[in-house]
Amino acid sequence: MASHSHAHHEHSGPSLIDAARDALVDAGEQWTGMRESVFAELARHECPVSAYDIADNLSRDRGKRVAPNSVYRILDLFVANNLALRVESSNAFLANTHPGCEHDCIFLVCDDCGEATHIDDDETSQRVRNLAKSMAFQARRPIIEVRGICGSCKG
C-alpha cells in the first residue's frame, strides 16, 4: 500500500529482476551471478531482510558459505543505484519494486511484525529537502521512518 505522487511501473517476480539488472547495467555496473542471487533473495521477501539473513539463505541454497560482508557490499551498491531501499532503524533492506525511479524513502515500520510500508510522496520529500536547504544543509538521501503498529497487528 504505497501512496504515489509520481508515475512509475511496479515490477514483481522475474520482471523485477530484469528491471534491476537493466538499471544496474545502465548505471555502468556489472550484473554478476552473485549480485543476481542477492537481489533475487532480497526480492522474495515482503518484509525488510538483513544481510545476515540473505547470507544464511544463500549459503543454504548454494551449499557453501556466503559471507555477510559480501552481501553488505552488494546491498550498498543496490541502495546507491536505487535497486534496494534500506530501513535504517532496523538495518534491513527491501527490493525497490520500481528500479530507476529516484525518490526519497518514507517508511511506516511496524514494531510488532517488522513490516515496512514504503510511501512515495514527492511533496513531503521536497518539504524536507527545502527545510534542509534553509538550514544551509545539502540533503543527499532523506529517509523518514515512522515507527508504530500496522493495521494488521493493531487488530
- For residues 18-36, give the mean pLDDT: 95
Percentage of the chain modeled with pLDDT above 70:
88
What is the domain extent for residue 60?
13-95
- Residue 136: the pLDDT is 96
- For residues 48-71, give the mean pLDDT: 96
- Residue 3: the pLDDT is 42
Q: How many domains are contained in the chain?
A: 2
Residues 58, 132, single domain; the answer is no
Kindly state whether residue 138 falls inside one of the protein's structural domains.
yes
Q: How far is 7 from 154, CA to CA, in rounded Å?
A: 31
Kindly state whether residue 117 falls inside one of the protein's structural domains.
yes
- Cell numbers representing residue 22 in the block: 537493466
The set of residues, in sequence order, having a beta carbon less than 8 Å from that of 95 and lying 6+ positions away, is 16, 20, 39, 42, 43, 45, 83, 84, 85
Q: If you count them, how many residues does the chain have?
A: 155
The set of residues, in sequence order, having a beta carbon less than 8 Å from that of 121 and lying 6+ positions away, is 3, 5, 106
- Residue 6: the pLDDT is 46
Residues 40, 73, single domain; the answer is yes
Question: Of 72, 95, 118, which marks where a domain is finished?
Answer: 95
Question: Of 95, 113, 136, which marks where a domain is finished?
Answer: 95
**2 against 82, higher pLDDT:** 82
- Cell numbers representing residue 68 in the block: 555477510
Kindly state whether residue 8 falls inside one of the protein's structural domains.
no
pLDDT band for 13, please (50, 70, 90 cuts).
low
Kindly state whether residue 57 falls inside one of the protein's structural domains.
yes
Residues 79, 111, single domain; the answer is no
Kindly state whether residue 7 falls inside one of the protein's structural domains.
no
| pTM attached to this predicted model | 0.81
Most confident of 19-33, 92-106, 133-147: 19-33
- Say which CATH number the domain at 44 has: 1.10.10.10
- Say which CATH number the domain at 114 has: 3.30.1490.190
